[in-house]
Homo-oligomer: A and B are copies of this chain.
């Protein structure tokens, strides 16, 4: 009653992470469609039913559910940027801050995990919800920053431009492991910031 003090909860979270880790590894190694839930279960040393206990569908194994939990931190940092910064500038500094907060080894781990869906078409479906939600959030934050409505066309446009640019560069990163997402995103957004594009 009141938050499950511990051991059970902990093990649950551990199992969930374990299953997803193996799933993502197998998706990368063999492709999404070619990987069966049975294989994932075997790799994680659980029963197939257990996989479905933690993830409703196979697709959900590729969904980064903990992203939602990042939204509050993102909001904090973005909102905290100096008022004279435009939306693009604020986003650049937010991204820099959030990347800096991650320990180096965490960053490497995340890159593998979080960029996978960008290069596996089947996973877009499962992650579209997360993406849409992120877009909605960013739109609101931008609106607040420039003191307009989220439905304002200018707000929509700048938001979608930032999303487009960020996604584009991340897709390149996912395909090319030599690129560092942190700097790549920052540089790409810089292009947007400097003025009328090209």
Contacts and interface: CB of A to CB of B under 8 A. Distances in A.
Contacts of A192: 157, 161, 197
A196 B191 CA distance: 11
Contacts of A65: none
Contact of A191 (B142, B157, B172, B193): B157
Interface string A162-192: 1111011100100000000000000111011
A156 interface: yes
Interface string A121-141: 111111011000001000000
Contacts of A162: 161, 164
> Chain A contact residues (Cβ within 8 angstroms of B): what range?
35 or more
Contacts of A86: 196-198
Given A88-B197, A146-B198, A168-B135, A191 B158 contact: yes
A197 B198 CA distance: 14
A159 interface: yes
24 contacts: A86-B196, A86-B198, A121-B129, A148-B198, A153-B187, A154-B191, A156-B169, A156-B172, A157-B189, A157-B191, A157-B197, A158-B191, A158-B197, A158-B198, A160-B161, A160-B164, A160-B167, A160-B168, A160-B188, A161-B197, A163-B164, A164-B165, A195-B195, A196-B196
Interface of A: 86-88, 121-126, 128-129, 135, 142, 146, 148, 153-165, 167-169, 172, 187-189, 191-198
